[in-house]
Structure 1
Amino acid sequence: MTATQTEAPVRAEPWPALWALCVGFFMILVDTTIVSVATPAIIEDLQAGVNEVVWVTSAYLLAYAVPVLITGRLGDRYGPKNLYLVGLVVFTLASLACGLTTTIEGLIAARVAQGIGASMMTPQTMAVITRIFPAERRGSAMALWGAVAGAATLVGPIAGGVLVDSLGWEWIFFVNIPVGVVAFVLAWRLVPRLETNDHRFDWLGVALSGAGMFLLVFGIQEGEQYDWSTITGPITVWRMIVAGLLVLAAFVWWQARNRSEPLVPLGLFADRNFSVSNLAITTVSFAFTAMGFPLMLWAQLVRGYSPTEAGLLLAPMAIVSILAAPVAGRLTDRAHPRVLTLAGFAVLAVSFVLLSLVLAPDTPLWLLVLAFGLVGLGSSFLWGPLATTANRNLPPQRAGAGSGVYNATRQVGAVLGSAAIAVLIDARLAANGLQFSPSEAGAGGGSLPDQVAGPFTDAMAQSLLLLPAVLVLGLVASLFFERPRHLGEAARR
C-alpha cells in the first residue's frame, strides 16, 4: 500500500473543515428520522400501509449500511473530500426525486438512492477527524460530531413536523436541496485534500454483506405480514431469516480468509475499545431509530397533535443534548470511557422505561418533557464518547476502514431497529384487539375514538419496552472498555 500527497499539507486549524463537514452530516442524519413524523401524512397521501411506510426508512438505512463498508476505503483511495462531495451531489438529487414522487414504490426507490449518497459521505467525516486532529484533541472534535449526530436524530422530527404542517410532507425532502448546495460550497472551500492510499476492493464481501442484511431485515420486517409463514412457494419467513444469518456468517468467514484486503479488517477488532464501541453504538442506533414510530403515531393519532406539535414533543431531547454535548466532549478527553458510557446507557434506558410507564391518552405534558429531557441527557454521553473511543487508537492509514466499519455497525443497528419496531407494533396492536388502518382512523390530523385510543396507547407503550431491553446489551458491553492509550501516556508523564 503506497501513499501519495495529493495537495498542500493540512491547515494548522482544522475546525473550519470539521464545521463544513458537519453541515452535510447533519442533513443526512436528519433524513434518518424525519420520516417518522410524516408517517401519517404519507400513509394518507400515497394510500400506503404502516409497513410500507416503514420501508421508506428501512430501504434508506439498508442502502446506507451496506456500501458504507467500502466507501470508507474509496475515500482512502480517491480522497475523503472527493467522495464526500460526490455523495453530497447524489444525496441532494435523490432528495429532489423523493419530493417529486407520487407513489410509495417511487419514494422507496428514491430513498435507496439517498442512502447510497449518505453512505459515501458519512465515513469521510470520521476519517477526516481522525487524520487532521491529534489524538489528544479528538475528544473535543468527536464531541461536535456526536452532538451533530444526537441533535440531528432529535431535531429531525421537529423540523419534519413544521414542514409537513406548513408545506406538505414532500418538503421534508425538498429542504435538502438548498442545504446540500450550501454544504457543497463549504466543503469545497474548507475541507483539505489528504494523502491517498491504494486499495483493493472486496466486491465478494460487498455482495455477501448486502445479501445477508437484505434477507435478514426483509424476513424480520415482513414476518408479521405473512403470519411468520409462507411468502411464496418454498420461501418462508423463517427460511429467509436463517438464510440471511448463514450468508452473514459466510461473510465473516470470507473476511477471515481474505488475505489481500478484506472489506472488514478483522484485525481492527483486536483493539478492545473499537470492538466494544461498535457493539455499543449498534444498540444506541437501534433505540433511536425505533423510538420515532410508536411515539409519533401515538402523539398524532391519540393526542390529536399536528405534525409540528408532535415533533415539538422531542424538543427537550434536542435542547438537553446540545447543552450537555460540550461537557461530554471535555470529559471524553480526560475520563475513562467506561464511566461516561455507563452513565449514558443507564440514563437512556431509564428514560425509555419511564416513557413506557407514563404513556397514556391523558399523560401530563410535564411528565413527557421530563422523560424526553432524560433521553437527551443520556444520548449526549453516548454519541460522541463512543465515536471517539472507537477510533482514538487507530493509526491514520486505517482511519477509512475503521470509520467505515463503525458507521456500518451504527447503520445495522438502525436497520434492525426499524424492522423490529414495525414487527412489534403490529404484534402488540393485534394482541390489544386492534386491526389498525391509520388511513381510516384519522391519519390526516384527527384522533382515534376513545374506545380505540386506550388499547392503541397500550400497544405503543409496550413496544417502547424493546428499547431499554436492547440498551442493556450496550450497558454490559461498556463494562469492558479499557483505558485509552493517551490517558495512560498522560498518567506516565
Structure 2
Amino acid sequence: MPSLIPLDGLPPGRRGWAVTAQLLGVGMSTLDLAIANTALPTIAGNLHTNPEASIWIINAYQLALIATALPFAALGDIVGHKRVFLFGLVLFTVASLACACSFSLPSLTIARLFQGLGGSAMMSVNSALIRFIYPERQLGRGMGMNVLVVATSFAVGPTAASLILSIGTWPLLFAINVPLGIFAFVLGIRALPATPRAKHRFDVILAGLNAGAFGFLVLGLSGAAHGDALKLAIPEIILGLILGALLLRRQAQHTAPMLPVDLFKIPIFTLSAITAICSFATQGLAFVALPFYLEQALGRSQIETGFLITPWPIMVAVMANVAGRLSDRYSAGMLGGAGLATLSLGMILLALLPAHPSNFDIVWRMAICGIGFGFFQSPNLKLLMASAPPNRAGGASGIVTVARLMGQTLGAALVALCFSVAVGHAPIIALALGAAFAGAASAASFARVLVPLRAEGIAD
C-alpha cells in the first residue's frame, strides 16, 4: 500500500500528474452535464421521444449526484479518497460507453444514472483530495485550478456539443469520455495520494436514508421548478423531510455523521456553507431566468442568448485562478465578500437593463457577475475545507457538492415561483432575488473575518 501523504502535499513532479488525473475526471463530469443540456433536443428527436420525457436524461444525472454525494464522501473517509475517486472514474467511463451504445430513452436514462453515480463519487472527494495534493500554503491555488476547470467546462459545453454534433451523431458526445477516462485512470492510480482512513464502519442504512432524503427533496423542488402539480411535489418534499429526520436520529451518536452536523459546530464552516448555498442560488436564479428575459422580453434569438450569457462563465474561469492565488495571501472572508458584493451589483444592473439595450450593455453586466462569482468561489472553497479537521475532509468535501446542487435547485424553484405569481415581470423579479441572495452571502462572507478557524471540541 502506498504511504500516506501528509498535509504538506505531493512533490511537484507527482503533483502535476495527480492534478491532471483529478481535473480530467471533474472536467468530464461537469462537461457532460452541459453537453447533455445542449444536445437534449437532438437526442430526443433521434430516440423518438417527447421533450417532457427526455428531461429524465438530465434529471437522472442530477439526482444521482445529489443523492449520493455525502455517502460517497463518508466512504472516502473510511476507504480512502483515492479509491472512491478512481471507482467513480471507472464507473463514469463505463457508463459513458453505455450511454453511447444506448438505443432507447430508458436505456440512456439508466446509463445516465450510473454516469451520475460515477460523477458523484469523483466530485464528493474532489476537494478532499486537493487538500492532500497541494501544500497548505498553496491550497488556494489548488482550489482555484479546480474552479477554473469546472467553469471552463461549463462555458465550453454548449460549443463543444455543437461542434461534435456537426461532425457526428449524439453517441459521440459520450464515447469521447472513454479514452479520456482510461488515460485519467492510469495517471490517477499512479499519482493520486493515499489519504488517512477512519476506523468506523460504513453505515448502509444511513446512506439509504441520506439518498432518499436529498433525492426526494430535489425531486420535489425540481418538480415545482418544471411546473409539476403541487399534489405531487409537496408529498415528495414532505417525504424527503421525514427521511431527513430519520437520518439525523440514526446518526445522532455517530462519531463521524454522514450528514456532517458536527462540522456545523465550527462557525466559519457554517458561514462558508451558507455563503455557498446563497451564491449558487443566485447562479440558479440567473441561469434559469436570463434565457426567458433575453429571448422573450428583449427579443434575442436562442443563439444570441447563448453568446450573451457566455461572458459570465468565461470571467468565472479567468478570475478563479487569480482569486485562488490571492487567498493564499489575504483573508478568504474579505475576498469572498468583495466578490459576492460585485455579483450582487451585477445582478442589480441586469435587472435594471433599459428597455432596448445593446448587446454591449448586456455583455459587460454579465462580465461583472462572472468576475464577482469567480472571485468568491476559490477563497470560499479553501476556507470551507481548511476549517474542517483533516480526518473530516470527506464530510467537508461532500458539503461542497451538496451546497452547490441545493443552491442551484433552490434558485430554479424560485424562478418557477416568480413565474407563477408575476408572469410579466418574473425574470426581473428573479434577478432581483438573486441580487438579494448574493448580498446575504456577501454579509456572511465578511462575517467570517471575525470568527476563529476552528471550534473547541472538534478534534483533528
Q: Same fold (TM over 0.5)?
A: yes
Deviation at 1:128, TM superposition (A): 1.9
Any conservation in 1 of the 2:100–2:171 contact (CA below 8 Å)? yes
Matches within 5 A, 1:271-350: 271-289=266-284, 291-295=286-290, 303-306=300-303, 311-350=306-345
1:98 aligned residue: 99
Q: Does 2:129 correspond to 1:128?
A: yes
Structure 1 letter corresponding to 2:283: F
Report the CA distance shift for 1:359/1:398 in structure 2 as closer, same or farther (over 3 A): farther
Any conservation in 1 of the 2:96–2:177 contact (CA below 8 Å)? yes
Deviation at 1:297, TM superposition (A): 6.7
SS across alignment from 2:447 = coil
Q: Does 2:242 correspond to 1:263?
A: no
Deviation at 1:51, TM superposition (A): 5.1
Structure 2 letter corresponding to 1:243: L
2:183 aligned residue: 182
What is the root-mean-square deviation of aligned Cα atoms in Å? 3.3
Report the CA distance shift for 1:398/1:465 in structure 2 as closer, same or farther (over 3 A): same
Any conservation in 1 of the 2:220–2:236 contact (CA below 8 Å)? yes
In 2, Cα distance between equivalents of 1:145 and 1:113:
23
Matches within 5 A, 1:314-393: 314-358=309-353, 363-393=357-387
Deviation at 1:170, TM superposition (A): 4.3
Structure 2 letter corresponding to 1:395: P
Any conservation in 2 of the 1:63–1:115 contact (CA below 8 Å)? yes
1:474 maps to which of 430, 441, 450: 441
Report the CA distance shift for 1:220/1:324 in structure 2 as closer, same or farther (over 3 A): closer
In 1, Cα distance between equivalents of 2:364 and 2:444:
27
Structure 2 letter corresponding to 1:251: L
Any conservation in 2 of the 1:88–1:118 contact (CA below 8 Å)? yes
SS across alignment from 2:449 = coil
Deviation at 1:370, TM superposition (A): 1.0
1:427-467 CA distances to partner (integer Å, 9 max, x unpaired)?
47x945xxxxxxxxxxxxxxxxxxxxxxxxx6655555553
Deviation at 1:328, TM superposition (A): 0.8
1:30-59 CA distances to partner (integer Å, 9 max, x unpaired)?
233333333444455556566545443333
Any conservation in 2 of the 1:68–1:407 contact (CA below 8 Å)? yes
Any conservation in 2 of the 1:150–1:383 contact (CA below 8 Å)? no
- Of 337-346 and 10-19, deviating more is 10-19
SS across alignment from 1:382 = helix
So what's the TM-score if we normalise by structure 2? 0.83
In 1, Cα distance between equivalents of 2:247 and 2:77:
22
1:400 aligned residue: 394
1:82 aligned residue: 83
In 1, Cα distance between equivalents of 2:40 and 2:182:
27
1:244 aligned residue: 240
Any conservation in 1 of the 2:221–2:409 contact (CA below 8 Å)? no
Report the CA distance shift for 1:160/1:277 in structure 2 as closer, same or farther (over 3 A): farther
Give ranges in structure 1 of 5+ residues lacking alignment: 232-236, 433-457, 488-493
Deviation at 1:200, TM superposition (A): 1.3
Deviation at 1:384, TM superposition (A): 0.8
Any conservation in 2 of the 1:79–1:194 contact (CA below 8 Å)? yes
Deviation at 1:385, TM superposition (A): 0.9
1:91-110 CA distances to partner (integer Å, 9 max, x unpaired)?
12222333443544444332
In 1, Cα distance between equivalents of 2:451 and 2:189:
34
Structure 2 letter corresponding to 1:175: I
Deviation at 1:87, TM superposition (A): 0.7
Structure 2 letter corresponding to 1:252: L
1:12 aligned residue: 11
2:230 maps to which of 228, 231, 251: 228
Deviation at 1:21, TM superposition (A): 0.9
In 2, Cα distance between equivalents of 1:101 and 1:132:
37
Deviation at 1:274, TM superposition (A): 1.3
Q: How many positions carry a matched residue from both structures?
A: 446
In 1, Cα distance between equivalents of 2:345 and 2:52:
28
2:457 aligned residue: none
SS across alignment from 2:448 = coil
1:224-267 CA distances to partner (integer Å, 9 max, x unpaired)?
645423x4xxxxx4333233223323323433x23344213322
1:217 aligned residue: 218
1:441 aligned residue: none
Report the CA distance shift for 1:8/1:460 in structure 2 as closer, same or farther (over 3 A): closer
Report the CA distance shift for 1:465/1:33 in structure 2 as closer, same or farther (over 3 A): farther
In 2, Cα distance between equivalents of 1:238 and 1:179:
41
1:445 aligned residue: none
Q: Percent identity?
A: 29
Give ranges in structure 2 of 5+ residues lacking alignment: 455-460
1:63 aligned residue: 64
Any conservation in 2 of the 1:359–1:461 contact (CA below 8 Å)? no
Deviation at 1:197, TM superposition (A): 3.4
